[in-house]
Structure 1
Amino acid sequence: MSKVSSCGYEWTIELVSQNSEHTLDKCLAIILSTVLGKTCSFAFFFSKSLSIQQVPCLIFTSKQMPCCEHIDVPSLLERLNKLNHDVQVLSLAQMQVLPIRYQGLVLGFLVVTQNTLISNSEHNVLSHILNIYVHQLATLQYARIDPLTQLLNRQTFDEKVLEIVAGKEAWLVREHCNDICWYLAMADIDHFKLVNDTYGHVIGDEVILLVAQLLKSNFRIGDYVFRYGGEEFAMVFPCKNEGEALDKLDNVREVIASTRFPQVNNVTISLGVTEINEGVQVSDYVDRADRALYHSKSVGRNRVTAFSSLNYVDKVQQTGDIELF
């Protein structure tokens, strides 16, 4: 391993200068390659949600790293969780595993394979780098949170959709990755203007907050739920096909419709959904999902519509005089 102590400060600055998850990952991969040298191979597993509810996914590997399918992630996590917090490495037969902790929880690990053991000083350098990475990732995520709903905010939306189209979020697909499609759904609270006019903006904010909580709790760790603006929400998530996506959204719609809201009692949402694929701009995806949402509003609200099900007139018509809110 290279002598790296003099570079620790420079690497720290590089990591905290990254302003997106994708560039942060690339920066960490380059630093680890420099620290570990060409004789080592490594694989980095982490839960990007910063939650123990999500099993750490493979984020990247070195070029020399053999296939990672033999790595039993749940078993490694169990062993790492049994380590004392002052233990920096788990030494196994053909590899060394460094736990990655955040707020006392093991959220991932770095697997290193090499012929000689990593020294304590080298462990310290790696632990420091990984700690900086995790805290910078947390900083980026917290900056993207809507303060009222604690969902991802509007500013994050375009970036996430672009990353998915570019294949940079492949780690989120936990299984059957070749059979997975991504979908964008737009949802809007029905008659929300009437809620504000009747009960006031404080109750209106409570309705938005409760809808946001129901949306978040009914999507999986790794799905994206955004507050798109006002009483409108966006969800980006993988499914095997459009039918599965529609079923998922309809289940969420039913949960919200059956929930009793303080003061207001009953609240419903209307949704539109479209598949995300290559060759289309983010604004076009939003437009498609919005047109499907408009159709749900225009035919009675409290329903889900797929853009693919619309006829040509529905796809090109404007909102006209229909009151959407």
Structure 2
Amino acid sequence: MSVAYDIVAQEAASARALSALAPVPRSPIAPAQARLLASVAAFTHHRDTDALDHSLALSLAELAPARAVVLCKRAADGRRLESLVRCAADAQGLFCLHTGAPIADDPALEPVWRCMDQQQSFAETLADEHRLYVPILHEGRALGALQLESDTPLDGAHALAEGFARIYANYITLLNESERDKLTGLYNRRTFERHLQRLFDHPEPARAPHERRAGHAGPDNVWLAIFDIDHFKRINDTYGHIYGDEVILLLAQQMRASFRQADVLFRFGGEEFVVLLAGHDEAEARGALERFRQRVASYLFPQVGHVTVSVGYALAAMGDYPETVIDRADKALYFAKEHGRNRTHGYEELVRRGALAAEPVSTGSIDLF
């Protein structure tokens, strides 16, 4: 009897398993719903912040519909906007993306600030243009705002824009946690590798090797600078790791205050940091790095007192490999540390005066891949 019961039970279980594998009839989805789901799936697919920003603006512009969508992002200090992404239709009706740094105190951004400060959506009409402002909120804080522009009222786009803003706020928070160093809030090493690879995927116009070595640079040159804290182990040994962490945190604040909004700042690990900065020529890049070095040297760190950094930098030029540029900046950094510390040296400068050999070099103490 028990054997027969077992056989029946097994057959029933098999039947349930087969029915679970059978295709389930699907209810038809309206085209508008399908487009919405596809857009959400597309923009949450991205794993870096820039791609996510672009996808959000494009998705909203297509679905709202709006003539233009602007994503305004607030800086970590809350006192300024750090970036703008604008998606606007061209003469043929095709959407194009534009990114850039907002102009400080731009009166056109006053409604954006009002939207963020009040944490409320609102609409306004200027001449024949209709605009909708929606804050991007997370845990009681405004991360930024969306601005939608149209020739017709945007009443129907209100719920859609607020829904996208909520999804974006949740997702960008997760991305920031994976992209940024937990102590300083600067970008981390993993994000640095992505930024550098993207830089070399879109190189500047070619220049002859002798021009690069001589420091003749175009207006869109990027310089990679590495610096670390001098005698940082001594700080940890003398004052403890809590004060060591405080030095790193305050140094990150000095970095934000020293460099421009367009420069990209990273904590590479431990007491080592990296900056990607644009400059017309080597003198401009060196000047920015020297100002930062002097700023740190004059700053009084609590309990610890004065702290210095050594800086090495190199030009990121077309035809170079990422690890080669890192190695050049690394060699310049160690030249600075071996010749007194608390100084700034560039690889090209050292090659010109014969302090370093110009022949190709292998990857140094920093490994990118």
Q: Give the 3 Å change call, closer, same or farther, for CA 319–283 of structure 1 in structure 2.
A: closer
Counterpart for residue 112 of structure 1: 149
Within the alignment, does 1:242 sit opposite 2:279 as a pair?
no
The AA in structure 2 aligned to 1:141 is N
Segments of structure 2 that go 5 or more residues without pairing to the other structure are 1-29, 204-217, 365-369
Aligned pair 1:213/2:239, yes or no? Answer: no
In structure 1, what is the equivalent of residue 52 of structure 2? 24
Q: What is residue 209 of structure 2 aligned with on the other side?
A: none
Give the number of equivalent residue pairs.
Answer: 304
Shift of the 137–240 alpha-carbon distance from structure 1 to 2, 3 Å rule, reads: farther
Residue 292 of structure 1, CA deviation: 1.1
Instruction: Give the corresponding residue for 1:193.
Output: 233
State the Cα deviation string for residues 131-181 of structure 1 (Å, max 9, x = none).
42344233312322212222221111111223344459xxxxxxxxx8343
Secondary structure of the corresponding residue to residue 314 of structure 1:
coil
Match of 1:139 among 165, 169, 174: 174
Q: Residue type of the partner of 1:160?
A: H
* 1:35–1:66 Cα change, 3 Å: closer
**Structure 1: which 4+ aligned runs deviate by more than 6 Å?**
65-68, 317-320
- Alignment match, 1:57: 84
- Contact 1:80–1:106 (Cα < 8 Å) also in 2: no
One-letter code aligned to 2:185 = Q
Q: TM-score normalized by structure 1?
A: 0.78
* Structure 2: distance between partners of 1:284 and 1:221: 26
1:92 shift after superposition: 2.3
Whether 1:46 aligns to 2:72 is: yes
Question: C-alpha separation between the residues in 1 aligned to 2:145 and 2:64?
Answer: 18
**Equivalent position SS for 1:4:** helix
The 1:99–1:274 alpha-carbon spacing in structure 2 relative to 1, beyond 3 Å, is farther
- CA change 1:48–1:3 in 2 (3 A) is farther
Give the distance between the partners of 2:185 and 2:249, measured in 1 at CA.
9
TM-score by length of 2: 0.70
Identity of aligned residues (%): 29
Residue 17 of structure 1 aligns with an amino acid whose one-letter code is H
Q: Which residue is equivalent to 2:212?
A: none
CA apart distance, 1:313: 6.0
Q: Give the secondary structure class of the aligned counterpart of 1:296.
A: helix
* 1:204 aligns with one of 244, 250, 261: 244
Find the counterpart in structure 1 of residue 265 from structure 2: 225
Q: Is the 8 A contact 2:301 2:307 kept in 1?
A: yes
Residues 310-325 of structure 1 aligned to structure 2 (within 5 Å): 310-311=350-351, 314-315=356-357
CA distance in 1 between counterparts of 2:307 and 2:280 reads 30
In the alignment, the residues of structure 1 paired with residue 323 and residue 136 of structure 2 have an alpha-carbon distance, to the nearest angstrom, of 36
Maintained 8 Å contact 1:100/1:106: no
C-alpha separation in 1, matches of 2:51 and 2:143: 23
In structure 1, list runs of 5 or more residues that go unmatched. 169-177, 321-325
- CA RMSD, Structure 1 to Structure 2 (Å): 3.5
Q: What SS does the corresponding residue of 2:286 show, helix, strand or coil?
A: helix
CA 1:106/1:19 → structure 2, altered by over 3 Å: closer, same or farther? closer
Indicate the structure (1 or 2) with the bigger Cα radius of gyration: 2
Offset of residue 3 of structure 1: 6.9
From 108, 129, 147, give the equivalent of 1:95.
129
